[in-house]
A and B are shown apart, each in its own frame.
Chain A
């Protein structure tokens, strides 16, 4: 690979290679039975060059043919944008643990055995249901090297478990699911199963709901969509394009002053924790909103250069794309409410576990419009039953200014570490 650095230097170019290599082992149960065991080996390389100040890029999975990709990236640089940064030469890194050997020690037979036990347990209480489980463990290595002398690498592990119960209730299809993701080996706990079975039971009763402005509890499982809308606003690229609704609002209060959100790439055992970003800029913990006030936008090298700012170590990319600013672990500070207390507080409202259609609306501008695929009506402090054909529509920024309270517990849903949110005056259509 470094042969191409020689070729690049001879041609007077700066070049950077981003290399990813790894293995993934999904174990899949479908409709209560073991279905598929997979082994996925993957590798890929992206080459970025700067020729006469202009950027070029190409990718390939044929690492042995790196020169073909180098030539393609040189060809692409004829049309490329001006590079507004120089490739990093060295790195001061905070050591952070991303590789957990326990993941490699997990055996497929053990997983199969545990999954079978879970399915048996669930079916005792829900005999008509179909259970799907996917248990996937992954290890991968990322390496970034450039002609300026940088050559850094780190390895990471991840386990993601997905459990889903499907049942037909009075002719209605119902899915109740849970996803757990972590860098070390994790599995479904008794608590997770109880939670799933509780919701499966509550879903048996269907109730009608009137449209109107209501109090709504957004469970952590739904919060990623709302948080995604906010982080699209704090994305430096959207700021640079002029399309962020948070333009010119730095240090102004945007949402309720009890809301604090960090982008933390150094979070201990975080799903997206890493020592440096995909350009080799060291990772940081960055406040996005502190007590409701907008504190930072996220940048990669090019976007920062275009705006005269510094990279926040937020470059994300796959091997086949250029870096763009993105989030790492999104960590929301907890509040003082427990979910049972939120429920007791509601005279007429709903609690939402899953939604459909989260990406349909213009999330960047804050437009939020979703179908509640698993939600329960609450009347006078008690859960009555499941609502159907119900939509929630509104603007995320407005919604986050109508805060009643924030939950105490902070589970993670993928890379979102968020409690439940209790909001008032949310527009519900049924």
Chain B
């Protein structure tokens, strides 16, 4: 089959053309309250052909490979026509021939559906065994993916992945007051990721009930101590997306703002995106253009030193590809995405960090976030007021928002223990959601953050 595809590609008159084929099998289990809302053992197979000519792309995606030849011809013709009178190239990369077959101990494919349901039901029952907990949500997901990549430069790669994870939410209710807290665990190391979270479930139950009594935070400007989960979301939303060079590569004004060497934070700040971290949810050996993943320093000692690239953005900025071109599945073209993004640990203990805080907020975990590159916003799952260096009461509805450039400069304390989080779901960009990623960091202290809440 691959030989056939190579032959077909070699006959096409086009500067660059590639074929992706994907086979996916997965299991999704979702309990909400006492009910099994979804159990799906699914098959998802398809592929695409992508062609490039003088700065213009075309993509043909399909479920059946029966008409591969006509899809190849379509993509080549569209790109050729579209590229007429244009210019643009792709950055050079070495073509790789490689086959990565999965070698993990506990492959979810070898685990029975009965065991998967048993695990989910056990956590679900555990959540529902509490007075004020009105409802629950437990989600289990595994995906086995086998991806074929062949291009007209000689790349021929087969790579297998397994994603596996579990997430739980406790929903507490008191009249019209509804509060919820979630936790999730997920990576690419195998089925064992789902075991042993009884303590985490207890914490989720307790927090949801505690949030019912927590006061709404007063809106205002605060010093924030972010836990590793929130630090990770911040690194991802507030800075990671700004590092994705596809947007910058087409915009000279953006390039001036994101000039390498520019000071973005204090000397203690280093931000990294690393696709090679073993077992992490965002890791892989080759990206969707056949470029190997690598460890990319984005900010080093406070200065902007790097960005994340596809072959196209790398060429436009005269930089090297970084292995960050990813598509969520065969229906989409690869675009520049993150992998595992984190703030490098410093040397302050948690006590060091809160000691200097008179009126601040210790914000824990995030309910997701959004960014418009310069502006970010996200809500923390739960939070506590800090008064005179001590954690006092729990507060809720803590929504943090701010300007990335100002906020990065306001990070004046970095903790000493790095924690990464993969979980379930992932990142969204250009309609491609959810892409598996992980993010993390240590505790960090940020001054002057705008917090929305009840009126101040």
Contact = CB atoms under 8 A, between A and B. Distances in A.
Interface of A: 30-31, 33-44, 56-62, 65, 68-69, 72, 75-76, 78-81, 108, 112, 128, 130, 166, 168, 171-173, 175, 211-213, 241-243, 245, 320-322, 324, 356-357, 359-362, 364-365, 367, 369-371, 373, 389, 391, 393, 427, 429
Contact of B82 (A34, A62, A72): A34
A241 B41 contact: no
Nearest to A41: B62
B86 interface: yes
Given A34-B82, A211-B456, A356 B399 contact: no
A68 B114 CA distance: 18
Given A68-B43, A427-B455, A373 B375 contact: yes
A30 B397 contact: no
Contacts of A242: 33, 134-135, 173
B57 A173 contact: no
Contacts of A171: 257
B8 interface: no
A40 B48 CA distance: 9
A243 B251 contact: no
Interface in B166-200: 171, 173, 176-180
A97 B378 CA distance: 42
25 contacts: A33-B55, A34-B56, A38-B61, A39-B75, A42-B61, A43-B64, A44-B63, A57-B40, A58-B40, A62-B45, A62-B63, A173-B373, A211-B219, A242-B135, A243-B173, A320-B42, A320-B44, A360-B399, A361-B399, A369-B399, A389-B401, A391-B401, A393-B219, A393-B452, A393-B453
Interface in B58-96: 58-64, 71, 74-75, 78-79, 82, 86
B374 interface: yes
Contacts of B260: none
A196 to B, nearest CB: 17
Nearest to B48: A40
Contacts of A365: 176-178
A322 B35 CA distance: 13
Given A243-B173, A369-B452, 9 more contacts: A61-B45, A62-B45, A75-B113, A211-B455, A359-B370, A365-B177, A371-B377, A391-B219, A429-B455
A373 B372 contact: yes
Interface in B429-456: 450, 452-456
A76 B42 CA distance: 11
B74 to A, nearest CB: 6
Interface of B: 32-33, 35-46, 55-64, 71, 74-75, 78-79, 82, 86, 113-114, 117, 134-135, 171, 173, 176-180, 219, 250-251, 253-254, 257, 331, 333, 367-375, 377-379, 397, 399, 401-403, 450, 452-456
4 closest A-B pairs by CB: A31-B250, A357-B377, A391-B452, A173-B374
B146 to A, nearest CB: 14
Contact of B375 (A166, A322, A356): A356
Contacts of A81: 35-36
B219 A362 contact: no
Contacts of A243: 134-135, 171, 173, 178
A88 B313 CA distance: 53
Nearest to A162: B431
Contact of B374 (A172, A212, A367, A369): A172
A57 B113 CA distance: 13
B178 A79 contact: no
B135 A38 contact: no
A364 B169 CA distance: 15
A76 B455 contact: no
Contacts of A356: 370-372, 375, 377
B272 to A, nearest CB: 24
Given A42-B331, A68-B43, A429-B455, A33 B37 contact: no
A36 B36 contact: no
A61 B40 contact: no
A33 B316 CA distance: 14
Contacts of A359: 368, 370
B397 to A, nearest CB: 7
A75 B39 CA distance: 10
A72 B113 CA distance: 10
Given A35-B56, A57-B40, A320-B42, A361 B397 contact: yes
A152 B292 CA distance: 48
B453 to A, nearest CB: 7
Contacts of B368: 359-360
Contacts of A60: 42-44
A387 B431 CA distance: 27
A284 to B, nearest CB: 25
Contact of A59 (B42, B450, B453, B456): B42
Contact of B378 (A31, A108, A357): A357
Contacts of A393: 219, 397, 399, 452-455
B433 to A, nearest CB: 12
B44 A61 contact: yes
Contact of B450 (A69, A361, A429): A429
B46 A168 contact: no
Contacts of A61: 43-46, 63
A370 B378 CA distance: 9
Contacts of A40: 59-62, 331
A238 B422 CA distance: 29
Contact of A76 (B41, B250, B397): B41
A24 to B, nearest CB: 9
A362 B333 CA distance: 33
Nearest to B33: A241
Given A39-B60, A168-B253, A391-B452, A369 B39 contact: no
A389 B402 contact: yes
Contacts of B450: 389, 391, 429
Nearest to B74: A39
A72 B41 CA distance: 6
A306 to B, nearest CB: 9
Contacts of A429: 219, 450, 452, 455-456
Contacts of B254: 168
Contacts of A41: 60-63
Contacts of B371: 356
Contacts of A65: 43
Contacts of A42: 46, 61-63, 331
B234 to A, nearest CB: 14
A67 to B, nearest CB: 12
A175 B372 contact: yes
A427 B397 CA distance: 14
Contacts of A371: 375, 377, 401, 452
A171 B331 CA distance: 36
Contact of B397 (A78, A322, A367): A367
